[in-house]
Structure 1
Amino acid sequence: MAKVAFLGLGVMGYPMAGHLAKAGHEVTVYNRTAAKAEKWVAEHGGSHAATPREAAQGADFIMACVGNDDDLRGVCTGADGAFAGMAKGATFVDHTTVSAQVTAELYAEAAKADLSFVDAPVSGGQAGAENGQLVIMCGGDAPVYDAAEPVMMSYAKMCRRLGESGAGQLTKMVNQICIAGLVQALSEGLHFAEKAGLDGAAVVDVIGGGAAGSWQMVNRYQTMIADKFEHGFAVDWMRKDLNICLRTADEVGASLPVTALVDQFYKDVQKLGGGRWDTSSLIKRLNAMG
Structure 2
Amino acid sequence: MAKTAFLGLGVMGYPMAGHLAAKGHEVTVYNRTAAKAESWAKDHGGGHAATPRGAAEGAEFVMACVGNDADLRDVCLGPDGAFAGMGAGTTFVDHTTVSAAVTRELVAAAREAGIAFVDAPVSGGQAGAQNGALSIMCGGEEEAFAAAEPVMASYAKICRRIGGSGAGQMTKMCNQIAIAGLVQGLSEALHFAQKAGLDGAAVVEVISQGAAGSWQMQNRHETMLDDAFDHGFAIDWMRKDLGICLDAADENGASLPVTALVDQFYKDLQKMGGGRWDTSALIKRLNAAG
- Per the normalisation by structure 1, the TM-score is 0.99
Aligned to 1:98: 98
Number of the residue aligned with 2:74: 74
Q: How many angstroms does 1:228 deviate by? A: 1.2
Per the alignment, residue 45 of structure 2 pairs with 45
Who is 2:193 aligned against? 193
Distance in 1 (CA, whole Å) between partners of 2:257 and 2:115 is: 39
Q: Is the 8 A contact 1:52 1:76 kept in 2?
A: yes
* In structure 2, C-alpha distance between the alignment counterparts of 1:282 and 1:18, rounded to whole Å: 33
SS in 2 for 1:67: coil
2:220 paired with 1:220: yes
Question: What amino acid maps onto 1:67 in structure 2?
Answer: G
Letter of the structure 2 residue corresponding to residue 214 of structure 1: S
SS at match of 1:11: coil
Cross-structure match for 1:287: 287
How do 1:146-185 and structure 2 match up within 5 A? 146-185=146-185
- Deviation at residue 121 of structure 1 after TM alignment: 0.1
- Note if contact 1:126-1:231 (Cα within 8 Å) is conserved in structure 2: no
Distance 1:137 1:231 in 2: 24
Q: Which amino acid aligns with 1:271?
A: K
Q: Give the CA deviation at 1:257.
A: 0.2
Any idea what the Cα deviations from partners look like across 1:33-90, whole Å, max 9, x if unmatched? 0000011011001110000000000000000000000000000000100000001111
Deviation by residue 1:117-168 (Cα, 9 ceiling, x = unmatched): 1000000000000000000000000001000000001000000000000000
* Count of residues in Structure 1 that have an aligned counterpart in Structure 2: 290
Q: Give the corresponding residue for 2:129.
A: 129
The equivalent residue for 2:266 is: 266
How many Å separate the matches in 2 of 1:274 and 1:14? 25
Secondary structure at the residue paired with 2:75? helix
Runs of 4+ in structure 1 deviating by more than 3 angstroms, as ranges, are none
Q: Is the 8 A contact 1:57 1:86 kept in 2?
A: yes
Q: CA RMSD in A?
A: 0.5
Q: Does the CA contact (< 8 Å) of 1:235 and 1:266 recur in 2?
A: yes
Distance in 1 (alpha carbons) for counterparts of 2:139 and 2:224 = 34
Amino acid at match of 1:278: D
Q: Measure, in 2, the Cα distance between the counterparts of 1:268 and 1:203.
A: 27
Counterpart-to-counterpart distance in 1, 2:261 and 2:134: 28
CA contact (8 A) 1:181 1:259 kept: yes
Unaligned residue ranges in structure 2 (runs of 5+): none
CA distance in structure 2 between the aligned counterparts of 1:38 and 1:284, rounded to whole angstroms: 39
- Could you tell me how far 1:96 is from its partner in structure 2? 0.2
Q: Which residue of 2 aligns with 1:5?
A: 5
What stretches of structure 1 of length at least 5 have no aligned partner? none
Q: Give the fraction of aligned pairs with identical amino acids, expressed as a percent.
A: 77
- 3-state DSSP of counterpart to 1:255: coil
Q: Which amino acid aligns with 2:37?
A: A
> What is the rounded CA distance, in whole Å, between the counterparts of 1:10 and 1:84 in structure 2?
23
2:98 is paired with a residue of what secondary structure?
coil
Deviation at 1:232, TM superposition (A): 2.8
Give TM-score scaled by structure 2 length. Answer: 0.99
Which residue identity does 2:242 align to in structure 1? Answer: L
In the alignment, what sits opposite 2:242? 242
